[in-house]
Amino acid sequence: MSTTTQTEALVTLDIEGNLAVITLNRPDKRNALSLRVVEQLRAAFESLPDTVRVAILAGRGTHFCAGLDLSELKETTAGEGVQHSFKWYEAFSKIQFGKVPVVCAMQGAVVGGGLELASAAHVRVADETTYFGLPEGQRGIFLGGGGSVRVSKLIGFSRVTEMMLTGHVLDAQEGKAINLAHYVTPEGQAMQKARELAARIASNAPLSNFAIMNALPLIAEQPMSHGLMTEALMASITQSAPEAKERVNAFLEKRAGKVSL
């Protein structure tokens, strides 16, 4: 069963069993991110029912997202700009640290704010039409949606510096090579791959998925001794859950498959 809700046609939410598909629905603007779009993204991820175990983030049309809607900068004061960024931070936090893992299906432009958005997802799938860029330097502005943090953590601040200074645009395979995408598919097949991966993720124990989403980023920020303690605590909590015990027993009793290629 699939249900769809639509708010001013900017973001759509489809619930298909334990899967949610959240789609930027502004193809005539290459899915540019206005503040209304960002707020509706936040609302969509906040409102996911408890039955959902994984989400796919996508963009309708030939482009995933071409970035910030620059028309919103025309009359913005410095104070308003700060508030604007914090609304993006709040929305993107609901993706990265929200209820469920998020797989991002990308095609065409993943540029500026679109790359900032994609970097909040946990798994990123690009088709071969995808290209990545950070054109803020050429626009006379700076990253404002968390990209200086999230994208830098993915590819390193030196690469972000080069992309912003030079306007270097990377194709799908170049993006995969530096961790902007985890998978590259033939044109038009990113959503198919995203659904395949989402099904795998949904089959995991929810507590394990929660630990992966929330503990790993925390550990990456901690000194080694703190990280090891956090790891030990999360390992103890997850393995004590009844579902984990059943899964381990299933493996030991040869009722579960082994890891293989």
DSSP characters for 22-59? EEE--GGGTT-B-HHHHHHHHHHHHT--TT--EEEEEE
Asked whether residue 98 falls in the same domain as residue 196, the answer is: yes
Give me the residues of the chain with pLDDT under 50, please.
1-7
Query: Do 188 and 210 reside in the same domain of the chain?
Result: no
Based on the fold, state whether residues 81 and 16 are members of the same structural domain: yes
Active site residues: 116, 136
What is the number of structural domains in the chain? 2
Q: Are residues 247 and 131 in the same domain?
A: no
In this predicted structure, what is the pLDDT of residue 248? Answer: 62
CATH of the domain at 91: 3.90.226.10
Question: Cα–Cα distance between 140 and 18 in angstroms, integer?
Answer: 43
Within 10 A of 25 (CB to CB), how many other CB atoms are there?
Answer: 20
**Host domain of residue 248:** 206-252
pLDDT score, position 129: 98
The verdict on residue 70 lying in a domain is yes
The pTM score is: 0.92
The verdict on 143 and 191 lying in the same domain is yes
Q: Do residues 121 and 135 both lie within one domain?
A: yes
Residue 206 contacts by C-beta under 8 Å, 6 or more apart in sequence?
Answer: 53, 243
Q: Residue 148 domain-assigned? A: yes
Rounded to 5 degrees, φ, ψ at 166 are -100, -15
Is 258 part of a structural domain of the chain?
Answer: no
| CATH number where 212 lies | 1.10.12.10
Considering the domain architecture, whether residues 46 and 113 belong to the same structural domain is answered as yes
> What was the pLDDT predicted at 118?
98
- Output the pLDDT for position 41: 97
Question: Count of alpha carbons within 13 Å of 254, Cβ hemisphere only?
Answer: 0
Same domain, 242 and 115: no
Beta strand extents in 69-151 (DSSP E only) = 102-106, 109-111, 123-127, 131-133
Q: What is the pLDDT of residue 81?
A: 81
